[in-house]
Amino acid sequence: MTTMTTTIPLTPDPNNGESIQQHKQQVLIAYGLTFGLVDQALRDSVRRATDWFGLLGGSIDLSVHAAVTRYLTKLYLSARDVAVENEEALFELEKIPNCGLCLEGQGYEIRILKNSSEGVPKAASEARSRFYSSNQLQLTFSAEHSASQPRVPLNLVLLWDMDSSYSYSGLEVACPRGERNDGTVDCYWKERWKSIEVAPILPEQAPPTSEADLDEIRAFPTKVAASS
């Protein structure tokens, strides 16, 4: 397999508009193939989840719709050799729709979440709270980084949404900075993703090896359950 390394940009200066724009463009270009594939997975999955309710002859339950969409998205990406896992978190019942998917690649980690009325959903677990705030460690560790030390991954959130007819309405890419006092999430930047066509991968085809971000996506380690 051909191995290519993507240079991960540091988090931007939040007080410098030019720095923010430059960082945003670097991220969108570097990981565009991954974002495009997730966009296609969600577009297909939201449609199928909505159709599923029609087959059952019942009204759409948004929490169930989100869970079915998440499951179908995981199947879609796994069929294309992109390893994703359910986000590990403890949620109260009303938080279930925003239980997300995790995707890990070379130098970045992604949470795929349903958009909320406040944008990036509030953290419903310590794990997600740490995820939202860890981009600030990029600058802390970059000065001490050496060839023998792994870089702190850049954390990104992909937010998907539906319109009033329960059709997929698109994807936003967000770079979280941390949580505010009221629990809402502050972002360095957030940008609506412009859909691009990603060539379908047929079952008999080998996975692509020429794109860095997809080449370096790896499976999450299997966790051993603690004995009771």
Give the global pTM: 0.76
Which of 95, 141, 142 minimizes the C-alpha distance to 121? 95
- Number of independent structural domains in the chain: 1
Question: Model confidence over 44-74: pLDDT tens digits?
Answer: 999 999 999 999 988 999 989 999 999 999 9
Look up the domain containing 181 and give its range.
17-144+151-197
**Residue 224 included in any domain:** no
Exposed, middle or buried by CB within 10 Å (0-12, 13-18, 19+), for 197? exposed
Q: Which residues neighbour 104 within 8 Å (Cβ) at sequence distance 6 or greater?
A: 83, 110, 153, 217, 218, 220
**Residue 72 included in any domain:** yes
**Residue 12 included in any domain:** no
Question: Model confidence over 150-176: pLDDT tens digits?
Answer: 567 899 999 999 999 999 999 999 999
**Residue 208 included in any domain:** no
**Residue 84 included in any domain:** yes
